Structure 1
Amino acid sequence: MPSLKTGGIPLSQAKKAAILIHGRGASAESILALKDYLSLGEYAVLAPEARGGTWYPYSFMAPDKANQVALKESLTIIKAAWDQISQAGIAPENVVLIGFSQGACLSLEFAAQNAQKPKAVIAFTGGLIGEKVQEEKYSGDFHGAQVFIGSSERDVHVPLSRIKESETLLSRMGASVKLLIFKDSNHTIRKEEIDWVNENIL
């Protein structure tokens, strides 16, 4: 059974919830530390953990078959966390998906494959998964839900071109997408991103 760490308000008492999704080589515990910087005081926080510390083995832009089995399992793990929140009586519009790097890609992919109106999807350096962005993979309507993607314009793992392709498709699906792109080449979460998210989403 995949590991799931929790924090914040107990799920049974919360009116809002956040799913935090860690990056490659990290853990549920490490991404849970983000709650100390984000304004999640009113949220139940769930952080699922990937088997072996990785949600899928290769680059998020590798040929689809390379990541297919692991990605399917990982999306199932995120769905289980989402369902747990739903079963606690928290509506989708009060749920936030938050991920970094591999976790950001997974949060965007899960949201796009199950498009509805969450409170927001917050992707710290990420894009939709696949060798190419395939519109036919995605269905549903975001109904104006906020999607935030912050990144470097020269990130070694996530090309700006894929971020912009993701923005185009998500916008077409009814999301209100905000990009915050920085001139540096750091693969990190910046204070400016945290501040924007706290002020405009959470």
Structure 2
Amino acid sequence: MYTHTTNVISSGKPLAETGKALILVHGRGASAQSILDLANYLPVQDYTLFAPQATTNSWYPYSFMAPEVQNQPALDSALEQLDALVKSILDQGVKTENLYLGGFSQGACLTSEYAARNATKYGGLLLFTGGLIGEQLVATRYKGDFAGTPVLITTGDPDAHVPVSRVEETVAVMEKLGAVVTKKIYPGRPHTILQEELDLASKLFQ
């Protein structure tokens, strides 16, 4: 089993100029560069963009709904990498309400898990086909107050990796923590990101 080495790529204007950041987390088998390309479809020209790179191109080895022990220590290491990146951005003077986090598939799962464990007033969460991690959810892990943070969460029905039931559970947890959630389920949609999802995500930046 593996842990992750710190490897983050960034693009856009310097953080000292923008004061606003978007972290994008790639999916299984993908790369930091590939998820950064998603920013070309979002109104984030005035944001500094960050994308962490998973060791072996995967944040954890098995399904996000596998028994958690099977995904350790990679999962905890991945959460630590994301936490370190968030803290480094905040340490540079960015307010949490000017910090956005997003991801696709495995990256959306990791993003949702991190955010729910560290709920605060974020700018927004973009969760493209993902949900909270674990065979069963451990409610006591999810702490803080999203304080009205807008959240977009999507999936296909059916999706080969993310069941609608877990998306529904994730929505319930996040709403209990004070998020304002927009949920979209797309019948028969393949495991991808549709233009409509990008249009909805763009609204979070307005």
Coarse TM-score class (shorter-chain normalised): over 0.9
Q: 1:115 aligns with which of 108, 119, 132?
A: 119
CA contact (8 A) 2:156 2:191 kept: yes
After superposition, residues 1-202 of structure 1 pair within 5 angstroms as 1-202=5-206
CA contact (8 A) 1:156 1:185 kept: no
Q: In the superposition, relative to structure 1, how do residues 163 and 188 fare at CA in structure 2: closer, same or farther (>3 Å)?
A: same
- Give percent identity, aligned residues only: 45
CA contact (8 A) 2:22 2:100 kept: yes
What is the aligned residue count? Answer: 202
Q: Residue by residue, what CA displacement relative to the aligned partner does 1:101-142 show, whole Å, maximum 9, x if unpaired?
A: 000000000000111110111100000000012211111111
CA contact (8 A) 1:104 1:126 kept: yes
Deviation at 1:196, TM superposition (A): 1.0
Q: Which amino acid aligns with 2:156?
A: S
The separation in 2 between residues aligned to 1:98 and 1:8, in whole angstroms, is 16
CA contact (8 A) 1:24 1:101 kept: yes
Q: RMSD of the alignment, in Å?
A: 1.0
Deviation at 1:14, TM superposition (A): 1.5
With 93-102 and 132-141 compared, the bigger mean Cα shift is at: 132-141
Q: In the superposition, relative to structure 1, how do residues 145 and 23 fare at CA in structure 2: closer, same or farther (>3 Å)?
A: same
Q: Which amino acid aligns with 2:142?
A: Y
The separation in 2 between residues aligned to 1:43 and 1:201, in whole angstroms, is 10
The runs of 4+ residues in structure 1 deviating greater than 2 Å are: 199-202
Q: In the superposition, relative to structure 1, how do residues 123 and 172 fare at CA in structure 2: closer, same or farther (>3 Å)?
A: same
TM-score by length of 2: 0.95
The separation in 2 between residues aligned to 1:71 and 1:178, in whole angstroms, is 26
CA contact (8 A) 2:119 2:144 kept: yes
Q: Which amino acid aligns with 1:131?
A: E
Q: Which amino acid aligns with 1:56?
A: Y
Deviation at 1:15, TM superposition (A): 1.6
CA contact (8 A) 2:124 2:204 kept: no
Deviation at 1:12, TM superposition (A): 2.2
Deviation at 1:83, TM superposition (A): 1.2
CA contact (8 A) 2:128 2:153 kept: yes
CA contact (8 A) 2:130 2:153 kept: yes
The separation in 1 between residues aligned to 2:41 and 2:198, in whole angstroms, is 7
Q: Which ranges in structure 1 are unaligned for 5 or more consecutive residues?
A: none
Deviation at 1:154, TM superposition (A): 0.6
TM-score by length of 1: 0.97
CA contact (8 A) 2:43 2:205 kept: no
Q: Which amino acid aligns with 2:148?
A: G
